[in-house]
Each structure stands twice: as structure tokens, then as C-alpha cells.
Amino acid sequence: MSTALQALVGPFVEFPFMRRALVATWALSLGSAPIGCLLVLRRMSLVGDAMAHAVLPGAAAGFLLAGLSLPAMSLGGFIAALAVALAAGFVTRHTPQREDASFAAFYLIALALGVLLVSLRGSQMDLMHMLFGSVLAVDDAALLQIAVVASITLWALALLYRPLVLESFDPGFLRSVGGPGAAVHMALLVLLVANLVSAFQAMGTLMAVGLMMLPATAARFWVAGLPAMAAVAVTIGAASGTLGLLLSYHAELPSGPCIVLVCGAAYVLSVLFGARDGVLSRHLRKPVHLSR
Amino acid sequence: MTLASSFTSAVRLHDLTVAYRGHPAVHHLSGAFVAGAMTAVVGPNGAGKSTLLGALGGALRGYEGRIERDAALRIAYLPQASALDRSFPVRVFEVVAMGLWAHIGNFGTLRSTEHARVDEALAAVGLTGFGQRLLGELSAGQAQRVLFARVLVQDAELILLDEPFNAIDARTTADLLALLHRWKHESRTVIAVLHDLEQVRANFEHTLLLARKPVAWGPTAQVLDAAHLFKARQMAEAWDETAAPCERAA
Amino acid sequence: MSLNQPMTCINRRSLIRAAALTALPAWTALPLRAQTQPTGAAPQIVASFSIVADMVREIAPAALEVSALVGPDADAHVFAPTPAHGKRLAQAGLVVVNGLGFEGWIDRLIKVSGYGGAVVEASRGIAPLHGGHHGIDPHAWQDLSLARRYVANLRDGLAERWPQHQAELNDRSAAYLERLATLDRQVREQLGAIPRAQRRVITSHDAFGYYAAAYDVDFFAPQGWSTHSEPSAAAVARLIRQIKRDGVRALFVENISDPRLIQRIAQEAGARVGGTLYSDALSAAGGPADTYLKLFEHNTRVLVAGLTAPQTRAR
């Protein structure tokens, strides 16, 4: 028993970098998973990956202006991602086009622009490699950044819960009663970009998007109702992060992909055995009309 | 066109032209909706009925002409069913409570009086006990009852319904029609877009027959005669989708 | 061709076919052959990479121009030759390479370019250490005493090609060798001042085998991980333990690995992160290591600084 406990807890006790990685993963789950739930419900599930590419022109512009300065590139990346998100949101609000299409259009424009800007300098340097971090390398600054963004996100979501749900569920109704549909929509996009960009820098794109979307897609197979879904998603994310780090430690696997794959396993299990609409759980449960 | 000028009007239209996707959908409509009465809006497909309701309900902002009504008039607007995302994980109680948005805004909590109003509304549409069910679990008829409950809770003086009984079972339709009559009894103005002319004849005392341009507007029996209906069909066939917006008044 | 035919017949036919095909690129280079000696232009020495090019520059008379295929700050291991490089080779008066398998691409490039002249191997005669990708460590220039051999080989190779410059080559080489000898003494002095047990560093590039052997410094590789892929938590933990256990004092960052991760590891293990070590190429002009001598001085200075800093407390 104690060796099992040692295996589970030991790495975190012995190594500060493991503790930081754990806390960073939990903080990321806390902030991102609820946003992921909203994205899933609004049919914007692929937007996270699009955002990873949308940061490029901003980072490239920062690089061209200020050289290999991480703050300049990070700020540029954030602005670029925000521009893409807000442009897509604007198009969605003012034309019949839906968000998945408008996001696709703008992120591709941003990506091409970024590639062009990078080629102007002619450097072999991989900008994105510089910009995106790794969960094992989380330092104090990155940890603080994630924690702050997570706190602000949770606070903002709690505050804007009602108009957010309304805007997602029945935007026409909200408009007819004069509600702040546009403001709330834009607020969601800003939160999305803030979460993603800070997570990119701290832990890389795979983990950022993975922890945002996978737990959210899995949660739907256990509960309904947005608050419950968010809570389940956060739990799945935090648990996957913990398990993934332990796996990376004991089984010699790269940490980022490991964590995301554990999330993925959770998703597959949810699809199969989830209490709500799981593929196999229907067969496992005794049919109601045959019981008694 | 007859104008019921001797009755009070809830909404008066002056040369209203509303465009939809760049094409005029409502042409130069003038007239008045009688206050406290039930008016049906009928016409061929594409006649601009939903567009008209959208403009009246504040969902469509760009139009020419004037919509004259009391500024303090509380309006409830129920768009066509397809505009909603029924699979969104929201509970019946929450949907109905949305109707109280005007009172509690973004951040207010529901007091017990308001809670009771939601329960009453659910009872009025025959959905007592459905509060915690997910909207996505309900049938089309039940979901429509929920939306009507929301309208009830809004306590509006002007109620706009866009094809409220589309693809709804007969039982629900009958129950909801009863609700409409109750609203009329409470002196609320009801304007509804409908397709079933028998339903209109049986329940609505006023009708606006629209084929982008107004064909007839007044007491139902007069409006829904064969001549008017034929003329409406003729006008529908003559619609030119590529014509530029016309400048002069009808 | 049926399977019943004797093996020799098949081999010969396919051999002839293969030879014809491989010779094709050489045929396309035929027109270039005519231009191997452009009249009036200064004779070009083409070196494979920047360090060897610098050595040649030091000893070659001004009449000869030197260029490098793999320039400063570039990685010879991932060098992808282009037709322009082939053209330069074709017009070269002499080609100089490191040898010891460092330039895996050079033979094919020479053949394709149609260059028919001599190829000087700078490391000829040096008994190599084990290491590197093919079992032989090619980074012999990291030992100043071996660099003397380089200079001698280069001098002899240039003199054979341009006998008229023999005298000048001898003079310049002698002067250069003198400077190498002086630097060698200085490096030994500086490193000797550090206690042997403290002379332990970790660097991610396995290019310092000769330096380690010559100057008695332990260069550890991070155990069990490649800088190009994302490390596992186990690898990070192992490295931290290794640093603590072996008393490694300094980590040296390559610009290809994740600098933040190196910082984290160094901080946690109580080691220092040193500056950049230049292993396979000179820095760009104006940089801290734009000649071979400066490269050596810089590396040694950075190593000494990393090794003599007070050991930080592990965090």
C-alpha cells in the first residue's frame, strides 16, 4: 500500500517542478474547462486550434519590431488572436455566417500573414517554438499568469452567467428585450483569447487546447446543465493532468501529449460508459419497462 | 383597406417598408393594430409576415417609415421555433424565468414572488412539475408550451407570435389557443402569423392579409374572402426578386 | 528478367544501369567543367564550414579568397546543399573539408558539382575519439593541440595547389601556430585553477569530447533525452538528480532546446545556466566567436565563469 502511495505522491513531494506542473494544470483546467463547455455548446469546438495559429502574425510582428523579445512577441500574439476573434465575432453578428466559418476564414488569413512576415526576416528560427512553453518548465511568472487568468475567467463567467446563457441559447429573445448580446459575446471571445494565449505561453498549444476542449466534450456524457457540466469538466481536466504527469514520470513519456492523451482516454470512456447517452451504458442498464 | 379608426390602436404603422437581406419584404404598409384584440397576419410564403413581426418586436432595426406605439409598451416576441437551439442544456424553469429579464436583469436573484410567477406560468400551460426537466428532453409541443409560459411571465401588453403552432400537435394547439383568448380577455394585444385559415376564422377577429404589399386589413370575415385570397396569390406570383426598391408610396 | 538467369548476369546489368543513372547528374554538370578556371577572377578556396574556413583565412595569402559552404551560426549536420553551392564548388580552386564524417553530404555534392580538383582533409592523420553519430567524433578542432595538425594539413594542401605561395604559407602558419600554442597554455592555466572535482558541466550537444579529453573537464550529456523532442517528467527528474549527485555546476544552453526548461532544471538542481557554447560553427561577424581563436577563448571563458560561480542553493 505504501509503495502505491509513494508512486502517486512521491514525485510531487520530491520535485518542485512536478508540483508546479500540477498546480499549473489544475489552474488551467479551472479557467479553461468552463469556456470549453461554452464553446462546445456554441458549436465552436475547433476554434481553440484555430487560435493557436492566429497568434503567429502578432508574434512575427513583435519579432520584427523588437527582436527575440518574449514580452513583445507575447503581446503581439495576444493582440493578433484577439483581432481574429473579434473580427470573426463581428462577422457572425452582422451577417448570416456562423462562427465556425468566420473563425476559419480569419485564422487562415492570420496564419498566412504570419508566415509571410516570418519569411521577410529570413531567419531559420522557429518563432512558435520560442513562444510556446512546456508544462515541465512552468516558472513563477507563468504560474501566476495562469492563476490570475483563471480567477478572472471564473469571476467573469459567474457574473455574466445569465446573459451568456441567454445569448447562447436564444439570441433573438435577448435582442428583443434589449439585452447586451454583443457585449456579452465579445466578453466571451476576450476570455477565450486570454485563456488560450496565456496557456500557450505557459504550456504549449497541445495542452492549452487539449485541456480546454477534451474535458468539456467528455462532461456532456455525464451531466446536463451548464454549471454541472463545467464542474465535471474541471474535475476531468485536473484528474487527467495529475494522472498524465505521473505517467510521464513513471513511464518516461513526454508530458504534454501524455496529459492530453489521458484526457482523451477519459473522453472515450465517457462516450462509451457515460451515464448520459453513453453508447454502451444503454445496453448495460436494464431497460426500465422490464424492471420489476 | 378598412382602418378601424374608431377603436384604440396598440400599434400604428405609417408607410412601413422593411427589407430582408437587401430586398424589400414589407412594402409601404400603413394601418393600425387594434388594441386588446387578436389580429392574425396571413399571406403566401415569403410575404414578409415574419419580417413585419421582427420589425414590430425590435429584432429588426432597419426599416423605413414609422412604427407608432406607446414607448412604455411591454412587448413579448416569440420568433419562429427554428431560431432556438433546443439542445442547449437549459432547464424548463430557467427558460421560463428568462421572461423576467426585464425585472431582474443580468444579476438579480429570483425572489419568491417571481419564483411563484414562473410556477404559475408553467401551470397555465399544463407543465406543472416540469421545471427541472431539460428543454431538449421535451417534445415539440411541450417545448412550445414552455416558450408560451415565458411569454406569460413577461406580462406583456403586446404579444407577437411568429407561426406559434407550426408542427405542433392538435392538443397543444388547442391549449395554447385558449391562452391567447385569455390574453385577449386581459386586454392584451395579440398579433400572430398563421397559416391555418380555418384557425384564423375561428379565433381571430381581425386579419391582415399581406403579400409584401397589404392586400386587405380588417375584420376577418371581410378580409378572408375569395377575391382577396385570389388577389394575394396573383401578387405573389408577380413578385420580382430582382426589382429595385420602389420609391413612391402605394 | 527471369529468376533462372545466373546472378552475375543480373548484377552486371543492373550495375550498368545504376552506374548510368548515377552518372546522369555528372553529365548535366559537364558544361560547368569548362568554367572551372574562370580567367581573371581570384582563386577560390571553398571550405565546408566556417571554422575550417577561418583557419584557412588565417594562413592563406591575400591573393586567395576563402568562403564556407556552411556559414556562421549554421548547423552542418542539417545542411541541405543547393545548386548554388554546387556551382561554387565547380568554380573552386581548392576544396577543404574537416573530414572524420562531419560532412556527410560533401561527397555527393562534389560529385554533382563536377569539381575535379583536390580535396584537403584538415583532420588527416588525427586519431579520432569515439562518439558522434557514426561512432567517430568529428569535432577534433575542440582540442588546440589537434588544431595544430589542422593547420599543418591545410598549409601543406594549399602549398601543393599553389606552390608559388609556399613561403608565405609557411610564415603565416608559423605565426598562427604560435598563437594557438599561447592560447592552449592560457586555457590550461585557467581550467587548471579550478579544482578537478568541480570541472563538471552538462551540455546538450555532444561536441566537446576532444575538449573534455584535452583539458580534463567532464562534459555530461543530459541522461536519456534528446533536445528535439518534448522530454518526459522522468527525464527532467533524472537530470536534476544527476546534477545534484555528480555535483555538476553549470548547464550550457543550446539555442535549439527549450531555454525555460533548462532554467527550471538549473534552478531546482542548484546549478548555473552558463552562456552559449559554440561547438560547430563560428558566430556571425561581430559576435563573440567570429574567429576560431575567439571561439575558443569565448567557450573557455564561459566555462570558467560557470564553474567558478558560487554554487547556488537548490530551489
Residue in chain C lying closest to A130 (CA): C258
Q: Do A248 and C265 touch (CB under 8 A)?
A: no
Give the domain extent around C141.
35-185
Q: Which residues of A touch B95 (CB under 8 A)?
A: 169
> Any CB–CB contact under 8 A between A172 and chain B?
yes
Q: Which residues of A touch B154 (CB under 8 A)?
A: 177
The CATH number of the domain holding residue C48 is 3.40.50.1980
Three cell numbers, residue C19: 552506374
Q: Looking at the structure, tell me whether residues C163 and C200 fall in a common domain.
A: no
User: ipTM strictly over 0.85?
Assistant: no
Residue in chain A lying closest to C238 (CA): A249
C251 secondary structure, DSSP code? E
Within a domain: C171: yes
Q: Looking at the structure, tell me whether residues C178 and C201 fall in a common domain.
A: no
* Domain boundary residue, one of C185, C201, C216: C185
Tell me how far CA of residue C239 lies from CA of A148, A195, B86, B135, C254, in angstroms: 31, 31, 54, 55, 16
Confidence of residue A227 (pLDDT cuts 50, 70, 90): very high
Q: Do A255 and C231 touch (CB under 8 A)?
A: yes
Q: Name the fold adopted by B1-72+189-250.
A: Rossmann fold (3.40.50)
Q: Alpha-carbon dihedral of residues C101, C104, C109, C114, nearest 10 degrees?
A: 30
| Residue-range domains of chain A with CATH | 2-278 (1.10.3470.10)
* Domain boundary residue, one of C158, C185, C212: C185
Average pLDDT over residues A172-182: 82
> Which stretches of chain C drop beneath a pLDDT of 70?
1-41, 132-133, 223-229, 253-257, 310-315
Q: Do A177 and B90 touch (CB under 8 A)?
A: no
Q: Which candidate from A162, A172, A225 shows the least CB-CB separation from B89?
A: A225
pLDDT of A109 over the 90 cut: yes
Q: Looking at the structure, tell me whether residues C266 and C300 fall in a common domain.
A: yes
Partner A, chain C 288-307, Cβ-Cβ below 8 Å: none
DSSP H helices in chain C: 7-28, 30-33, 50-59, 83-90, 106-113, 144-161, 166-192, 209-215, 233-246, 259-269, 292-308
Per-residue pLDDT of chain B (250 residues; tens, 9 = 90+): 444 444 677 888 888 888 877 677 888 888 889 888 999 999 988 888 988 998 888 777 778 888 888 878 888 988 887 667 888 888 999 999 989 887 777 777 778 888 999 999 999 999 999 999 999 889 988 999 999 999 999 999 999 999 999 888 899 999 999 999 999 999 999 999 999 999 999 999 999 999 888 889 999 999 988 998 888 888 888 877 666 555 544 4
Within a domain: C15: no
Q: What is the pLDDT of residue C79?
A: 85
User: What residue has cell string 610564415?
Assistant: C171
* Domain boundary residue, one of C185, C206, C235: C185
Q: What is the pLDDT of residue B243?
A: 61
Q: Looking at the structure, tell me whether residues C52 and C168 fall in a common domain.
A: yes
Our answer on whether C and B touch (3+ beta-carbon pairs < 8 Å) is: no
Q: What is the pLDDT of residue B82?
A: 65
Q: Looking at the structure, tell me whether residues C224 and C170 fall in a common domain.
A: no
Phi-psi region of C221 (alpha: psi -120 to 50; beta: other; left: phi over 0): beta
Helix (H) or strand (E) holding B159: strand B158-162
**Min distance A193 CA to chain C CA atoms (Å):** 23
Within a domain: C160: yes
Q: Looking at the structure, tell me whether residues C115 and C140 fall in a common domain.
A: yes
Within a domain: C23: no
> Any CB–CB contact under 8 A between B116 and chain A?
no
Q: Looking at the structure, tell me whether residues C287 and C303 fall in a common domain.
A: yes
Q: Which residues of B touch A160 (CB under 8 A)?
A: 106
> Any CB–CB contact under 8 A between C240 and chain A?
yes
> Any CB–CB contact under 8 A between B63 and chain A?
no
> Any CB–CB contact under 8 A between A14 and chain C?
yes
> Any CB–CB contact under 8 A between B57 and chain A?
yes
Q: What phi and psi, each to the nearest 5 degrees, are found at residue A280? A: -95, -20
Within a domain: C67: yes
Q: Cβ of C215: how many Cβ atoms within 10 Å?
A: 20
Q: Looking at the structure, tell me whether residues C152 and C209 fall in a common domain.
A: no
pLDDT in tens, C84-116: 888 889 999 999 999 998 888 888 889 888 898
Q: Which candidate from B21, B89, B98 shows the least CB-CB separation from A173?
A: B98
Q: Which residues of A touch C237 (CB under 8 A)?
A: 11, 14-15, 17-18, 249
Higher model confidence: residue B248 or residue A47? A47
> Any CB–CB contact under 8 A between C268 and chain A?
yes
Any idea where the domains of chain B sit in the sequence? 1-72+189-250, 74-156
Mutation pick from A69, A74, A242, A252 vs chain C, by most beta carbons of C within 10 Å, is: A252
Q: Cβ of B246: how many Cβ atoms within 10 Å?
A: 12
* Angle (nearest 5°) at CA A230 between A225 and A235: 130
Domain count, chain C: 2
Within a domain: C315: no
Question: Chains contacting B with at least 3 CB pairs below 8 Å?
Answer: A
> Any CB–CB contact under 8 A between C258 and chain A?
yes
> Any CB–CB contact under 8 A between A123 and chain C?
no
Q: Which candidate from A14, A15, A255 shows the least CB-CB separation from C232?
A: A255
Q: Looking at the structure, tell me whether residues C110 and C48 fall in a common domain.
A: yes
Q: Looking at the structure, tell me whether residues C71 and C144 fall in a common domain.
A: yes
Distance, first Cα to last Cα, chain B: 12
Within a domain: C250: yes
Q: Looking at the structure, tell me whether residues C60 and C160 fall in a common domain.
A: yes
pLDDT of A252 over the 60 cut: yes
Q: Do A255 and C233 touch (CB under 8 A)?
A: yes
**Min distance A214 CA to chain B CA atoms (Å):** 18
Q: Between A and B, how many residue pairs show a Cβ–Cβ distance under 8 A? A: 63
CA–CA distance, B153 with B120 (Å, rounded to integer): 9
Q: Do C233 and A256 touch (CB under 8 A)?
A: no
Compute the half-sphere exposure of residue C127: CA atoms within 13 Å on the CB side of its CA. Answer: 1
> Any CB–CB contact under 8 A between A276 and chain B?
no
Q: Which candidate from C224, C229, C261 shows the least CB-CB separation from A136?
A: C261
Residues in chain C: 315
Q: Looking at the structure, tell me whether residues C159 and C202 fall in a common domain.
A: no
Contacts 24+ apart (CB under 8 A), A138-143: A138/A17, A138/A20, A138/A21, A138/A24, A138/A202, A138/A203, A138/C264, A139/A20, A139/C260, A139/C263, A139/C264, A142/A24, A142/A201, A142/A202, A142/A203, A143/A20, A143/A23, A143/A24, A143/A27, A143/A202
Q: Do C235 and A252 touch (CB under 8 A)?
A: yes
Within a domain: C161: yes
